[in-house]
């Protein structure tokens, strides 16, 4: 059973690493390729993916006990990301207010006041409570919540599977 547990850990780690990398890659395509300016929450929602990728990649090469721990940490971070996505999507639907300090990034800092004033003419401030794009009724924040929850499920499920080797602390199942 240990070989099967190790194999399922590696498959889960690969799925989480690829899923997180593709999700961030998609966000970057929307931002840099399609011109969508991310709001503060959009940028914050990427952080769990930035952490999940190296954790999942580490789980590919670590011993089984440490791989389970890495996947468990990735799952916790992705659950946090799913919560952020739910909060963001709810603010977009008007279920609750979004953050009061939410506005998009304006790019590099201007070197002179005239540059700043010129940039103000063309900069669009992005509000966290306005969905810039929807697909099948869900905004990018809604899709983020679903993807983060799915990846957290994969990572967490692999971390606590009964046929996987025990955790490095406490009483584990083996």
10 Å CB burial of residue 61 (0-12, 13-18, 19+) is exposed
Asked if 23 contacts 144 with a C-beta cutoff of 8 angstroms, the reply is yes
The answer to the question of residue 111 being in a domain is yes
Q: So what's the pLDDT on residue 135?
A: 63
Show the domain range for 74.
2-160
Q: Is residue 27 part of a domain?
A: yes
- Please determine, for residue 170, whether its predicted confidence score (pLDDT) is greater than 80: no
Residue 170 maps to a domain: no
* Distance (Å, whole) CA 71 – CA 161: 11
- Residue 107 has which token pair? 């790019």
pTM: 0.71
In a domain, 135, yes or no: yes
Is there a contact between 136 and 38 (Cβ–Cβ < 8 Å)? no
Strand runs (DSSP E) across 24-169, as ranges? 134-135, 138-139
- Residue 8: what are its φ and ψ, rounded to 5°? -65, -35
Residues 6+ apart with CB under 8 A from 140: 27, 30, 42, 131, 132, 133
Residue 1 has pLDDT above 50, yes or no: no
CATH value at residue 82: 1.20.1550
Residue 98 CA to residue 89 CA, distance in Å, equals: 9
Is residue 150, in this structure, part of any structural domain at all? yes
Residue 134's SS3 state is strand
Residue 129 resides in a domain: yes
The structural domain count of the chain equals 1
Q: What is the mean pLDDT of residues 139-156?
A: 89
> Could you report the per-residue pLDDT of 44-83, keeping only the tens digit for each?
898 999 999 999 999 999 998 899 999 999 999 999 999 9
Per-residue pLDDT at 105 exceeds 50? no
Q: Is residue 165 part of a domain?
A: no
Average pLDDT rounded to a whole number, residues 135-162? 85
In a domain, 174, yes or no: no
Higher-confidence residue: 161 or 108? Answer: 161
């Amino acid at each position: 059973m240990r070989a099967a547990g190790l194999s399922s850990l590696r498959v889960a780690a690969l799925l989480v690493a690829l899923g997180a990398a593709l999700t961030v890659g998609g966000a970057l395509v929307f931002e840099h390729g399609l011109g969508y300016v991310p709001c503060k929450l959009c940028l914050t929602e990427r952080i769990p993916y930035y952490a999940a990728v190296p954790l999942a990649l580490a789980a590919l090469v670590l011993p089984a006990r440490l791989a389970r721990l890495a996947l468990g940490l990735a799952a916790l971070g992705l659950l946090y990301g799913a919560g952020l996505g739910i909060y963001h999507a709810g603010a977009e639907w008007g279920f609750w207010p979004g953050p009061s300090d939410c506005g998009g990034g304006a790019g590099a800092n201007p070197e002179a006041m005239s540059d700043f004033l010129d940039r103000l003419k063309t900069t669009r401030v992005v509000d966290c409570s306005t969905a810039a794009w929807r697909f099948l009724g869900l905004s990018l924040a809604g899709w983020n919540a679903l993807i983060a929850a799915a990846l957290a499920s994969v990572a967490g499920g692999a971390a606590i599977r009964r046929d996987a080797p025990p955790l490095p602390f406490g009483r584990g199942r083996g």
